[in-house]
Copies of this chain bind each other. A is one copy, B any other.
Amino acid sequence: MVMAKDSTRFSIIRNGARLVHSKGYNNTGLSDILQAAGVPKGSFYFYFKSKDDFGLAIIDHYWAFINHMGETYCSDGSIPPLERLAGFMDAYQKHFERMDLRGGCPIGNLMQEMSDLSEAFREKVGDVYSRMQDRISQLLKEAQNQGDLPSGIDPDRTAQFILNSWEGAIMHMKLIKSSEPLKVFRQMVFEQILKQNR
């Protein structure tokens, strides 16, 4: 019974998360979600108090994917930290290309769409965004400790700038349906910003 319950809830989240990723949160109706998951309305309300309750749950789902990518590409201490960061970003570029450059970053999408509309979304998206930023910051600190990054670089501010710039590049990728913005971003970050000597 627990299995069945978890599996229906998970199916609603997984299918709903995919819909929201491609259409936007407000543009996805409850009926779309029910249809995608193949469940009746009563079943939805058995698992979620409201559409927003579901919306907040899919943020955890997006985070689980991002965190998995982070663990996969950023945690192997035998690889130099900046190479891990580059590998993480390259893996995401391939992921976006497999999705035909559609969808973009689900966290960036909700950040853009929901920040002015819901405090609950703003808080939860903000929490995930901070964790993404922290991971980049940790890699920069490691690189500094290993002498691979000039000590004059502020890891926290630089991590914030890199993540924001990446989100902007992903948005532009979606607009022009080309991965060129990601390539320009990568070159600017790894061949210029992280090679500063001041």
Contact = CB atoms under 8 A, between A and B. Distances in A.
Contacts of A117: 23-24, 27
Interface in A91-146: 102-104, 108-109, 111-113, 115-117, 122, 125-126, 129
Interface stretch (A9-17, A35-43, A49-57, A180-188): A180-188
Contact of A184 (B125, B160, B172, B176): B160
Contacts of A168: 163-169, 171
A195 to B, nearest CB: 8
Interface string A147-170: 000000000011011011111110
A71 to B, nearest CB: 24
A174 interface: yes
A163 B175 CA distance: 13
Interface residues of A, number: 46
A193 interface: yes
Q: Specify the main secondary structure of chain A where it touches its partner.
A: helix
B176 A126 contact: yes
A195 B198 CA distance: 11
B161 A112 contact: no
Given A116-B102, A193-B193, A108 B171 contact: yes
Nearest to A111: B175
A7 interface: no
Contacts of A198: 192
7 contacts: A23-B117, A26-B27, A161-B184, A164-B171, A164-B185, A166-B168, A168-B168
